[in-house]
A and B are shown apart, each in its own frame.
Chain A
Amino acid sequence: MKGFPAYASTWDKTWHYLFRIICCVVFIFLMFPILVIIPLSFNAGNLFTFTPEMLSLDPEGYSLRHYRNLFESPDWQVAMYNSFRIAPVATLVSVSLGTLAAIGLSQGHMPFKHPIMAILISPMIVPLIISAAGMFFFYSRIGLQGTYFGVVLAHAVLGVPFVIITVTATLSGFDKSLTRASASLGAGPVRTFFKVQMPLILPGVISGALFAFITSFDEVVIVLFVGSAKLKTLPWEMFSGLREQLSPTILAVATVLVSLSVILLTLVELLRRRSQRLRGLSS
Chain B
Amino acid sequence: MTTDQVSLRRRVKRSLRIQKLRAFLLVAPLLLFVLLSFVGPIIDMLFRSVENQLVGDTLPRTVAILRAEEIDDNWQPGDRLFAALYIDLSIAADVKNHTRVASRLNYEKAGIASLFRSTGRKIRNIGSKEYEKLFVDLDKSWSTLDYWEDLVADLERQAALPVTTTAFRQWQQDHIGRGNDVSKLDPNNAFHVILLAELLASPADVIAGLAPLHRENLSAIMAIRDQFPPIEYRESFLEFSNKWADRDVWTTIKRYSPRLTEGYFLNAVDLKKGNDGVEARPEQERLYIKIFLRTFAMSIIITLTCFILGYPVAYFLAGLPTRYANLFLILVLLPFWTSLLVRTAAWKVLLQEQGVINDTLVFIGLIDHANRLAMINNQTGTIIAMTHILLPFMILPLFSVMKTIPPSFVRAARSLGATPLTAFLRIYFPQSLPGMGAGMVLVFILAIGYYITPELVGGNNGTFISNRIAYHISSSLNWGLGAALATILLAVVVILYWTYDRMVGIDNVKLG
Contacts and interface: CB of A to CB of B under 8 A. Distances in A.
B38 A257 contact: no
Contact of A135 (B37, B345, B474): B37
With a 10 A CB-CB cut-off, give which of B322, B345, B509 has the most chain A CB atoms. B345
Contact of B34 (A12, A160, A165): A160
A27 B42 CA distance: 38
B342 A37 contact: yes
With a 10 A CB-CB cut-off, give which of B33, B48, B323, B470 has the most chain A CB atoms. B33
B331 A31 contact: yes
A67 to B, nearest CB: 15
A254 B346 contact: yes
Q: What 6 pairs between A and B have smallest CB-CB spacing?
A: A127-B449, A104-B26, A138-B41, A33-B346, A134-B42, A101-B30
A233 B344 CA distance: 17
A218 B349 contact: no
Contact of B20 (A7, A40, A109): A109
Contacts of A137: 41, 44-45, 48, 479
Nearest to A38: B346
B473 A136 contact: yes
A242 B345 contact: yes
Contacts of A50: 356, 359
A265 interface: yes
Contacts of A225: 473-474
A81 interface: no
B355 A251 contact: no
A220 B453 CA distance: 11
B260 interface: no
Interface band, chain B = 35 or more
Interface of A: 1, 7, 12, 15, 19-20, 22-23, 26-27, 29-34, 36-37, 40, 47-50, 97-98, 100-101, 103-105, 107, 109-111, 116-123, 125-131, 133-139, 153-154, 156-157, 160, 162, 165-166, 168-169, 211, 214, 217-218, 220-221, 225, 235, 238-239, 242-243, 246, 250-251, 253-254, 257-258, 261-262, 264-265, 268-269, 272, 283
Nearest to A254: B342
A153 B334 contact: no
Interface stretch (B59-67, B101-109, B183-191, B309-317): B309-317
Contact of A37 (B322, B328, B331, B345): B345
B388 to A, nearest CB: 7
A29 B354 contact: no
Contacts of A120: 30-31, 34
Contacts of A22: 312
A65 B506 CA distance: 47
A117 B448 CA distance: 23
B350 to A, nearest CB: 6
A100 B26 CA distance: 5
A272 B501 CA distance: 25
B35 to A, nearest CB: 7
A233 to B, nearest CB: 11
B316 to A, nearest CB: 4
A121 B509 contact: yes
Interface stretch (B87-95, B146-154, B267-275, B482-490): B482-490
A135 B41 contact: yes
Given A37-B349, A49-B356, A134-B44, A211 B506 contact: no
Given A101-B27, A127-B490, A48 B349 contact: yes
B493 interface: yes
B332 interface: yes
A130 B42 contact: yes
A243 to B, nearest CB: 6
A161 to B, nearest CB: 8
B28 to A, nearest CB: 8
Contact residues of A: prevailing secondary structure: helix
B5 interface: no
A253 B449 CA distance: 26
Given A157-B37, A211-B511, A258 B27 contact: no
B493 A126 contact: yes
A238 B337 CA distance: 17
Nearest to A40: B349
16 contacts: A27-B313, A29-B391, A34-B338, A34-B346, A36-B356, A37-B342, A40-B349, A100-B30, A111-B23, A127-B450, A131-B42, A133-B470, A235-B339, A242-B344, A246-B352, A261-B339
Contacts of A283: 322-323, 326
Interface string B17-51: 00110111111011101110111111111101000
With a 10 A CB-CB cut-off, give which of A48, A129, A162, A225 has the most chain B CB atoms. A129
B343 interface: yes
A74 B417 CA distance: 70
Given A239-B341, A242-B341, A128 B449 contact: yes
Given A110-B27, A119-B35, A134 B507 contact: no
With a 10 A CB-CB cut-off, give which of B356, B456, B497, B507 has the most chain A CB atoms. B507
With a 10 A CB-CB cut-off, give which of A26, A118, A153, A166 has the most chain B CB atoms. A26
Contacts of B22: 104, 107
Contacts of A250: 345
Nearest to A105: B27
A121 B44 CA distance: 19
Contact of A262 (B334, B356, B452): B334
Interface in B429-476: 445, 448-452, 455-456, 466, 469-470, 473-474
Given A107-B23, A251-B349, A118 B501 contact: yes
Contacts of A49: 354-356, 359
A262 B342 CA distance: 13
Interface in B77-132: none
A29 B356 CA distance: 14
Interface string B129-161: 000000000000000000000000000000000
A254 B328 contact: no
Nearest to B316: A23
A130 B420 contact: no
A97 B331 contact: no
A119 B332 contact: no
